[in-house]
Chains A and B, each alone.
Chain A
Amino acid sequence: MALATAGGPQIAIDGTRKVRGSLTQGRIRWMLLAIVLGFVVVGGRLVQLGMVETDTRIEGQARDVIQATRPPILDRNGAEMAVDIRVPSLYAEPRRIIDVDQAAESLLTVMPDLDPKWLRDRLTGDEGFVWIKRELTPAIEQRVMRLGIPGIDFITESKRFYPAGREASHVLGSVNVDNQGIAGIEMHMDRENVALLQELGLARGNALAPVSLSIDMRVQHVLHEQLVDAMERYQAIAAAGVILDIHTGEVLGMASLPDFDPNEPATALEKGSFNRITSGIFELGSTFKTVTLAGALDSSRVAITDQFDARYGVRFGRYTIDDFHGKHRILSLPEVYKYSSNIGTIRIMQQWGKDNFRAFLTELGFDKRVPFELPEMRDPVVPKEFSEVGAATASFGHGLSVSPLHMATAVSAFTNGGNYITPTLYHRSSEEAQSLYRPVISEQTSDAVRYLMRLNALEGSGSRMDDIAEGYRAGGKTGTAEKVVDGRYSSSKVLNIFASVFPLDNPRYAMVMMVDEPQRENPQSGTTAGWNAGEMTGRVIKRIAPMLGVAPDFSTAVDTNLVPPQLR
Chain B
Amino acid sequence: MIKTLNAVLLVVCGLAFTGVYALKFAIQHEATQISRLESHISDQEAELSMLKADWAVLTQPGHIEPVVIRHQETLQLAEVEPEQFGRFTDLPMRPAKPDAHAMDALFQALEVGVDPIGALLEEID
Interface residues of A (CB under 8 A from B): 79-80, 83-87, 138, 156, 161, 163-165, 167, 217-218, 221-222, 224-225, 469-472, 542-543, 545-546, 551-552, 554
Contacts and interface: CB of A to CB of B under 8 A. Distances in A.
Contact of A79 (B56, B80, B85, B87): B56
Contact of B82 (A86, A156, A222, A552): A552
Contacts of A167: 60, 62
A217 B61 contact: yes
Contact of B80 (A83, A472, A546): A546
A241 B60 CA distance: 20
A543 B45 CA distance: 38
Nearest to B57: A163
Contacts of B4: none
B23 to A, nearest CB: 21
Interface stretch (B46-54, B92-100, B103-111): B46-54
A225 B65 contact: yes
A218 B61 contact: yes
Interface of B: 42, 45-46, 49-50, 52-53, 55-57, 59-62, 65, 79-80, 82-83, 85, 87
A253 B46 CA distance: 31
Contacts of A551: 85, 87
Contacts of B62: 164-165, 167, 221, 224-225
B46 to A, nearest CB: 4
30 contacts: A79-B60, A80-B52, A83-B49, A83-B53, A83-B56, A85-B46, A85-B50, A85-B53, A86-B42, A86-B45, A86-B46, A86-B49, A86-B50, A161-B53, A163-B56, A163-B57, A164-B60, A167-B62, A221-B61, A221-B65, A222-B61, A224-B62, A225-B62, A225-B65, A469-B82, A542-B82, A546-B80, A546-B85, A551-B85, A552-B83
Given A472-B82, A546-B80, A552-B85, A163 B60 contact: yes
A87 B42 CA distance: 11
Which of A79, A87, A161 has most chain B Cβ within 10 Å? A161
A545 B81 CA distance: 11
A469 to B, nearest CB: 8
Given A167-B62, A471-B82, 16 more contacts: A79-B56, A80-B53, A84-B49, A85-B46, A85-B53, A86-B42, A86-B46, A86-B50, A164-B62, A218-B61, A221-B60, A225-B65, A469-B82, A546-B80, A551-B87, A552-B85
